[in-house]
Amino acid sequence: MSRNGWNGWRRFRGRGNGAFAAASLLLILLAACRGVPFPSPSPSPISTPEPCPALLAQGDAFAEARARTAAEDAYRRCALLRPDDPTPHLRLARLYLDWNRPEEGLEAVENAERRGGDPTETAAWRALLLAAQGDWTEALRWGEQARAMGSTDPALLHLLGDGYLRTGQVHRAVQAYRALLALVPDDRRAQERMGVLTALSDLTAATVHLRAASTPLADTVLRALEEPGPGPAARLWAIGRACLGAGDPVLAVPALERAVVYDPSFAEAHALLGHALAQRGTAPEEDQRAREHLETAVRLRPDSPLTRSLLGFYLLER
């Protein structure tokens, strides 16, 4: 081996010995530390979004899409996550009202009340659900209570107006619809009903409301008001007939009641009034009134197909 070769080998071996020593030292240190626990880093807090707002939003979207079972599930899941929160129970009350399940809606309102739900809101929902059950006496009581506590819910004001009409309180119905229009001037249904009701006494005001409503019923009533010649009884009979044709016996009754006051011998007005009362069906005594007007109509005009057919329909339904 040449000198240069030897020297090269010696230099390589020297470097190898140094690397070997360093590796050995590292192994010794690792062995010494094998049983020593290293402190683990504390996990940084992860913000998890609270699921209830998302569930309520999902329920609202499902309810809007008429996917009621899915909406019910979302609201109930939120209620489980927030056992003391009245909000999901109020959403269930609204859902059950739309679903025509008023008994379950009233149960949801009670659950909201037990969890501290706003008394004005719970009273309004109770009124709406009682009306859906047909209990107008209690519906009006709770509706008036909600209104006294400051509720301005348009649905509640519609309920009060309709409830007063059903119970023959026309003046109070007008007040409810007027309050509603002060809040929502472009409510066409309220304009329509105000037009029909004010037509009982103020044709000028009625015309304004009917034109603002611009509904098929409002247009029909407007034509009846503008027709020249007929006396008040005939005009009121035409209004009542238009309301019945639109499927609204509740709105027809006041006009027809006024028609028979103006002309007690108006057989067709008695016939339509009896039919409207029977369709309105608020109380048992109203059914008796319906029969009396229908029989009066037949007595006045025994040869009239209208009077005889409406009495016949009434008897068949009973």
Specify the number of domains making up the chain. Answer: 2
What is the residue range of 254's domain?
A: 229-318
Give the domain-ending residue among 99, 117, 135.
117
What number is the average pLDDT over the span 187-204? Answer: 96
How confident is the model at residue 49, as a pLDDT?
58
Q: Output the average pLDDT for the chain.
A: 87
* 95: in domain: yes
How confident is the model at residue 207, as a pLDDT?
96
Q: Is the pLDDT of residue 9 over 50?
A: no
The owner of tokens 């003046």 is: 171
* 75: in domain: yes
CA distance 211 to 231: 22
CA distance 47 to 50: 9
* 177: in domain: no
List, as own/partner pairs, every contact residues 180-187 make where C-beta atoms lie below 8 angstroms and the sequence separation is at least 24, other chains included: 180/154, 183/152, 183/154, 183/157, 184/154, 186/212, 187/154
pLDDT in tens, 42-75: 544 444 457 999 999 999 999 999 999 999 999 9
For the chain, what's the residue count?
318
What number is the average pLDDT over the span 153-168? Answer: 95
Q: Is the pLDDT of residue 19 over 50?
A: no
* 41: in domain: no
* 190: in domain: no
What number is the average pLDDT over the span 244-261? Answer: 96
CA distance 189 to 181: 10
Radius of gyration of the chain (CA): 39
How confident is the model at residue 282, as a pLDDT?
63
* 241: in domain: yes
Is-above-0.85 flag for pTM?
Answer: no
Using a pLDDT cut of 70, give the percent of the chain over it: 84
**Among candidates 140, 244, 182, which has minimal Cα distance to 191?**
182
Give the domain-ending residue among 100, 117, 134.
117
List, as own/partner pairs, every contact residues 104-108 make where C-beta atoms lie below 8 angstroms and the sequence separation is at least 24, other chains included: 105/129, 105/132, 106/130
The CATH number of the domain holding residue 63 is 1.25.40.10
Q: Which residues contact 195 (CB under 8 A, 6 or more apart)?
A: 206, 207, 208, 209, 210, 212, 213, 218, 221, 222
